[in-house]
Amino acid sequence: NAGVTQTPKFQVLKTGQSMTLQCAQDMNHNSMYWYRQDPGMGLRLIYYSASEGTTDKGEVPNGYNVSRLNKREFSLRLESAAPSQTSVYFCASSAQGASTEAFFGQGTRLTVV
Amino acid sequence: AQKITQTQPGMFVQEKEAVTLDCTYDTSDQSYGLFWYKQPSSGEMIFLIYQGSYDEQNATEGRYSLNFQKARKSANLVISASQLGDSAMYFCAMRPYSGNTGKLIFGQGTTLQVKP
């Protein structure tokens, strides 16, 4: 009964370091998302994958790359971390269709110093 | 472009009273879905309620109802008989139905505090 699993839960990076946030879902969902949450800004979409093999930019894609490795997994990579990328990151997934709710992971709290 | 606006950064309500959280949206799509999520202080995102753009009746789920006014492009969440456990941040979200590739976008959120 895992749902959406994100790793790690916490991470501290130095400016310029790289890292990959992992996300996996076991609900056979087609769509997967990466969001960042900052105070006063709500959840902003970074990247989106409508199905395996496809990805699309969201509102704030700069500084990030994604890989939809297979139907289950959708990873987010920071190539050269910057303090402005300090945030809480959420992965989510949903079945196809406008009426289907998204299920969220527990979030990753990332601090870039 | 799609946009969700929640104009109330913070709200207070007395326990057992009803409260309305505002949400307006902007989209050129004719078909879309509207969602509300709750985020307690523990951080998880909890789905509350869904409204389809072609649904004629307002959605209800227990103490949650959605006041959907399509012409005004508003989808306000009404919580009846507030409880202390309702204290949380609430997010409105929209997914346009564009050939099954619609992105799910969120508003800025409203923090609700329920007073005993």
pLDDT for B6-26, tens place per residue?
Answer: 999 999 999 999 999 999 999
Query: With 80 as the cut, is the pLDDT of residue B101 above it?
Result: no
Query: With 80 as the cut, is the pLDDT of residue A98 above it?
Result: no
pLDDT for A23-40, tens place per residue?
Answer: 999 999 999 999 999 988
Task: Please report, for residues A64, B14, B111, the alpha-carbon distance to residue A56 in angstroms, rounded to integers and kept in the order given.
Answer: 12, 43, 30
Please, which residues 24-63 of chain A have a Cβ atom closer than 8 Å to chain B?
A: 30-31, 33, 35, 40-45, 48, 50, 56, 58-59
Identify the band that residue B28 occupies on the pLDDT scale cut at 50, 70 and 90: confident
CB contact under 8 A, B103 and A48: yes
Dist. CA B5–CA B94, nearest whole Å? 11
- According to the model, what pLDDT value does residue A45 have? 95
Could you tell me if B100 lies within 8 Å of chain A, comparing CB atoms? yes
> Which of A95, A102, A98, A53 has the alpha carbon at shortest distance from A73?
A53
Strands B46-52 and B32-39: antiparallel
Q: HSE, CB side, 13 Å, CA atoms: give it for residue A31.
A: 24
pLDDT for B32-90, tens place per residue?
Answer: 999 999 999 999 999 999 999 999 899 999 999 999 999 999 999 999 999 999 999 99
> Which of B7, B35, B12 has the alpha carbon at shortest distance from B82?
B12
Query: With 80 as the cut, is the pLDDT of residue A74 above it?
Result: yes
Query: With 80 as the cut, is the pLDDT of residue B99 above it?
Result: no
Query: With 90 as the cut, is the pLDDT of residue B1 above it?
Result: no
> Which of B69, B80, B60 has the alpha carbon at shortest distance from B23?
B69
Identify the band that residue B30 occupies on the pLDDT scale cut at 50, 70 and 90: confident
Query: With 60 as the cut, is the pLDDT of residue A56 above it?
Result: yes
- According to the model, what pLDDT value does residue B100 have? 54
Q: End-to-end CA distance of chain A: give it in Å, rounded.
A: 36
Question: What are the tokens at A105?
Answer: 């992971």
CB contact under 8 A, A59 and B105: yes
Dist. CA A74–CA A69, nearest whole Å? 6
- According to the model, what pLDDT value does residue A100 have? 85
- According to the model, what pLDDT value does residue A96 have? 79
Could you tell me if A19 lies within 8 Å of chain B, comparing CB atoms? no
Mean pLDDT of A80-84: 97
pLDDT for A100-113, tens place per residue?
Answer: 899 999 999 999 99
